[in-house]
A and B are shown apart, each in its own frame.
Chain A
């Protein structure tokens, strides 16, 4: 009898602890895009395509979409035709599972895979103007489309790994992503809004960068901020984090190219 009571008590404690843990997660109804934390001036900058500097990259990307590249002399448009139809909703599904590689790839990696496999062209370096431009152009076609990344059952273990990384404390400051972006998103850090970390607008124009940048650039900056060693561009850890963040933002509209302070 006594052991049964102990077990019941232990189960109760575990349940209480578990509910405490999940309490950290942001409820669906309280999720907010980084946009909602911005000043009216920065919002206005994003709203108008003629004031949004991210559109400069989108226009470059449109030109690249139509320009021939690689040994096969094919342009993106030769296979995918009108991006407005063929690329609509694509960015909302990325990172997605690549069957040949057996792991998820993000949109930048997909573009480079397409270059290697179909255009026989050299991959574009991460954060290069051309790769950002093409990514921004492709992602902009999904503007307003709800994020649905991570629903593929094959991605399940990778989403879980990304989630683990999100929760894991690391670096000299011994912080996990969750300590700021789940627990303290309604507060400020050195005057700036912390935000919930929903990556709905990437690649985006950051006023601090004075340039467009990828989600991986943002993640690396955050990791450096907690004084941990940042993963290299394209590292599976970063793609895993991207994947978890996108699945965490499921249902929120794509804003690419967003503007952030």
Chain B
């Protein structure tokens, strides 16, 4: 199932500051909630997000239980060369998702 929405400009001028927006589908269950029977709903969150630009890591974030469902992470970088952005989300219960987007720098 489709799980990530990525917004990277398709083309940019060399040296331009570009905004990258990512939205990942995840319930982000805090681990602090209880069912009607009093049982704890086990924690199930994304714990880390990273972005690599042509192999080099340019952004990393740790995520915690207070972050809402379907985390939206946005950040800026400088467009240095044409290539690919690789995104990776890692979380509880072996959750791992990847996505990528390409950019043309002129």
Contacts and interface: CB of A to CB of B under 8 A. Distances in A.
A237 interface: no
A56 B68 contact: no
Interface size class of B (residues with CB under 8 A): 10 to 19
Contact of B1 (A49, A55, A63): A63
A62 B2 contact: yes
B70 interface: yes
Interface size class of A (residues with CB under 8 A): 10 to 19
Contacts of B54: none
Which of A53, A207, A211 counts the most chain B CB atoms within 10 A? Answer: A53
B68 A51 contact: no
Contacts, number: 40
A12 interface: no
Contacts of B1: 59-60, 63
B69 A211 contact: yes
Contact of B68 (A48, A59, A62, A210): A210
A248 B32 CA distance: 42
A55 B70 contact: no
Interface string A195-215: 000000000000100110000
9 contacts: A50-B5, A50-B23, A53-B23, A55-B5, A56-B2, A60-B1, A60-B2, A207-B68, A211-B69
Interface of A: 48-51, 53, 55-56, 59-60, 62-63, 207, 210-211
